[in-house]
Structure 1
Amino acid sequence: MEFSGLYRPNWMTWILRTTLPWSHTTTAKCRTNQLSGSIGLRIHPGKSKMLKIKTGDIQAMTVGGKPLEVVENFTYLGSVIDHSGGTTADVRSRVVQARTAFKTLDKIWRDRTISTKTKIRLFNSNVKSALLYGCETWSLNQSSLKKVQTFVNGCLRRILRIFWPERIRNEELWNRAGQRPIREEITQRRWRWLGHTLRKPRNSITRQSLQWNPQGKRSRGKPRTTWRRNLEEEMKASGHSWRDITRMAQDRREWETVVRGLYPLQGERL
């Protein structure tokens, strides 16, 4: 399987295999420029970027005779894509944006006339929504997961007014705030998105990408953390095989039961 391009009215992204001859890439780009130009659309060189993911030096790509800027990362549909091919940069960006959202509501967190229940609801809707945007496709390692959880814990302690020298365990903090470990939330979101994707037609590029196996040899050392490896660990822990989840995902109600069963709610939530 080959990814050639993704299209939408206002944006376009090419994902090209480095194993293809560079002439194929430039030909595809030129053809796209010609076709879009025939209906009054022009590729703007100043707004177009070129990102190389773990590849050697390649020729510069030009549009209208002007070379495209080569960048190490760029924001695409709200998510940060960088040259490493991972999601570490995106996680870091999400934390920064969520921290900004949290500071914007600082007057509310300090207001003693507002109930804790209301503050937590605002935290979930205004801060966590910014923090976990796109988390369904994150390939999380322990470092990134710890960064996200540490931020959430800090926010909850601020909301619940738990300051030094008072110390409580994280489990008690989550129980007071009606929260659960961030790993559980991300996992359930990932599985809900997975079910939605598995119900797409078999020729859907999104569904095909779940089992896409890039060719070639990886570099030496420990295998990198990937989305698929995250999922396989979760499948193993839940006792499900790929065939099982593909079948169960076709029934929305059955799949929702599976997702909820990953981490049953314990205790009363705010």
Structure 2
Amino acid sequence: MKIMPIEKTASAPLSIVVINGQAVHVVWQFTCLESIISSSGKLDAEISVRLAKTSSVFRRLLGAVFHRPQINRHTKARIYNAKVSSIMLYSSETWRIAQTQLRMVDAVQARHLRRVESFKCYDKIRNTEILKTFKLANLSTQVEARSLRWYGHLLCPPISTPKRIISDFNPSENGWKRPRGRPHTRWADVINQRLLNRNINPNEAPSLALDRATWRRLTVLSTSSLYAGDPAEQER
């Protein structure tokens, strides 16, 4: 395998890859294991697809399950988690997701649960009350808990393993410079902020993660945040 440089233009990549004499097409995004990988690292396309798939499944289950009075609310909540939320949260452990996108995800969940209970806008029932009714956590809180749980698994192997070498790589210490302007938020930055939200020192995380029981206790979906709802709504 060799890399052949080509002229840099506004629409062309810096290089192409040739394997066994055949050039590999260079694309800006592709789908791998049902997730959309983008060269920019943004999640716009991935979130849009996840929301569309989630809503499609929900609509198919609406008449068959969620609007059946014979099925109690607890069972409906479990089915929603298993069949709907699981699609939305697929691969969310590695998302570098923005707050605006998290609000979109929570809004879709709230809209679904309102339809299950046949609530209308003029009923003036808050999202937090809907979540309490079903005893569900909002999806943004679940994304945070899942990412921290997965981060704990990432910290367990020795630092000599490939995934630890990649995750521990520090660009600035290796002579890499980020472009001018505001730097993009990295997945490591998101994780560090979520650790601070749980009162966990990021520098102490590698040692804490070695004790699986302790890490599970620190990163579990806490009861206090179970019905967190929309922060903007809570301030009203």
Tell me which interval the TM-score lies in, with the shorter structure as reference length.
0.7 to 0.9
Q: State the Cα deviation string for residues 204-244 of structure 1 (Å, max 9, x = none).
A: 22222222223533233333222111111122233322332
Matched with 1:210 is 167
Cα distance in structure 2, aligned partners of 1:104 and 1:228: 37
Matched with 2:218 is 258
Are 1:184 and 2:141 an aligned pair? yes
Cα distance in structure 2, aligned partners of 1:146 and 1:71: 30
Cα distance in structure 2, aligned partners of 1:205 and 1:267: 35
> Number of paired residues?
218
Using the aligned pairs only, state the percent identity: 26
Deviation, structure 1 residue 55: 9.8
What's the Cα RMSD here? 2.6
Which structure would you say has the larger RCO, counting Cα contacts within 8 Å and 6 or more residues apart? 2
Matches within 5 A, 1:196-235: 196-214=153-171, 215-235=175-195
Matched with 1:7 is none
Q: Give the TM-score, by structure 2 length.
A: 0.81
| Contact 2:85-2:139 at 8 Å conserved across structures | no
Are 1:125 and 2:75 an aligned pair? no
Secondary structure, in 3 states, of the residue corresponding to 2:26?
Answer: strand
Are 1:93 and 2:53 an aligned pair? no
Cα distance in structure 2, aligned partners of 1:73 and 1:137: 16
Q: Which runs of 5+ in 2 are unaligned?
A: 5-9, 228-236
Are 1:151 and 2:111 an aligned pair? no
| Contact 1:140-1:226 at 8 Å conserved across structures | no
Of 114, 131, 141 in structure 2, the residue corresponding to residue 174 of structure 1 is 131
Matched with 1:79 is 35
Are 1:69 and 2:25 an aligned pair? yes
Cα distance in structure 1, aligned partners of 2:97 and 2:204: 24
Structure 1 stretches of at least 4 aligned residues deviating more than 3 Å after TM superposition:
23-26, 54-57, 59-67, 266-269
| Contact 2:93-2:143 at 8 Å conserved across structures | yes
